[in-house]
Amino acid sequence: MSRPERPPLGQRPPVLEMIGVDKTFNGDVVALKAMNLTVNQGDFISLLGPSGCGKSTALRLIAGLSLPSRGKIAWAGGQGENDLGVVFQEPTLMPWATVSENVWLPFRLRGQPYAAVKDEVLEALKLVGLEKFQNAYPRELSGGMKMRVSIARAMVTKPRLILMDEPFAALDEITRFRLNNDLLKLKEAIGCTVIFVTHSVFESVFLSDRIVVMAARPGRVIREVTVPAPYPRDEDFRTSAEYAALCREASAALHEAMGEPA
């Protein structure tokens, strides 16, 4: 598969911009304060922070599931039909539908019959290594496999931006490492843009080229850590000195976010 060209950081066209976004609940609970974020094409951005820092709120705002109290979220070139794919913390599959029917869903909701998009669906399943399970029901799959189906569903339409809300938090460490590796391979294969919410320093450094560190009360961005290591990244990167140094840096920023000495 040919890898889409990806310009280095700083030379990528923007996809989405958050400009001075506030989100207040019930009039006085400030979930997010003055958030600015430019998402560029091909970015892998992690939102890293303690609970209550507004990272999931930011994701919901971008997804259009709630509206900002102030500020705006602007899509480059306006909003379209194929802006988003989403992966939640749970696999969120329809238990009554087979694996391929679940992956078909985004197309189906656009009125496209299965026969017309069968190739795309099977291609997506192949990318996550589940082409043999297209006729299985979700309950027949393990937790990690369900998450793969969920990822296949998010990317099957090749959306402009994929949002992932702590997708691997509920999985065991071994499955998590494996899915981290596979997610990067996938990203390289289809050249997607990802915003990934996590509270794991190691995960964020391994996956992202930009780590946006957020603090709580009120939820806000306090620092951005850039991970210059080139993709593809593999186990060698996970054990390298560079990785360790970056983890220290991100960890220090996280401690700062939590108001503790590093």
Partner 1 sequence: MSLTETRPAKAAPPETVALDAEDMRRLRLQRFDKIGKWLLPLVVLILAIIGWDRLVVWNNIPHYILPGPGLVWTTLVQDWAMLLDALLVTLQITMMALAVAVIGGVGLAVLFTQSRLIEMSFYPYAVILQVTPIVAIAPLIFIYVDSRTAGLLMCAWLVAFFPVLSNTTLGLNSADHNLRDLFRIYGATRWQTLRYLRLPSALPYFLGGLRIAGGLALIGAVVAEYVAGTGGIGSGLAFRILEAGYRLNIPRMFAALLLIAITGVVIFAGLSFLSHMLLRKWHESAIKRET
Which residues sit at the interface with partner 1, rule CB under 8 A? 63-65, 81, 84, 86, 88, 90, 92, 94-97, 105-106, 108-110, 127-130, 132, 137-139, 141-142, 144-145, 148, 175, 178, 182, 185, 189
Smallest gap from Cβ 132 to partner 1, in A, equals 8
Smallest gap from Cβ 193 to partner 1, in A, equals 16
Q: Which is nearer to partner 1, 174 or 241 (CB)?
A: 174
Smallest gap from Cβ 121 to partner 1, in A, equals 15
Q: Which is nearer to partner 1, 163 or 213 (CB)?
A: 163
Q: Which is nearer to partner 1, 175 or 251 (CB)?
A: 175
- Return the structure tokens found at 172: 């065991």
Asked whether 213 and 223 are in contact (CB, 8 A), the reply is yes
- CA dist 156 and 59 (Å) reads 20
**If residue 200 lies in a helix (H) or strand (E), which one and from where to where?**
none
The vertex-38 CA angle with 208 and 63, nearest 5°, equals 85
Smallest gap from Cβ 40 to partner 1, in A, equals 21
- Return the structure tokens found at 64: 């259009």
The vertex-211 CA angle with 60 and 195, nearest 5°, equals 35
Smallest gap from Cβ 137 to partner 1, in A, equals 5
Q: Which is nearer to partner 1, 86 or 254 (CB)?
A: 86
Smallest gap from Cβ 105 to partner 1, in A, equals 7
Per-residue DSSP letters for 83-149? -EEEE-SS----TTS-HHHHHHHHHHTTT--HHHHHHHHHHHHHHTT-GGGTT--GGGS-HHHHHHH
Q: Which is nearer to partner 1, 118 or 178 (CB)?
A: 178
Beta strand 29-40 with 14-25 is antiparallel
SS3 158: coil
Q: Which is nearer to partner 1, 128 or 225 (CB)?
A: 128
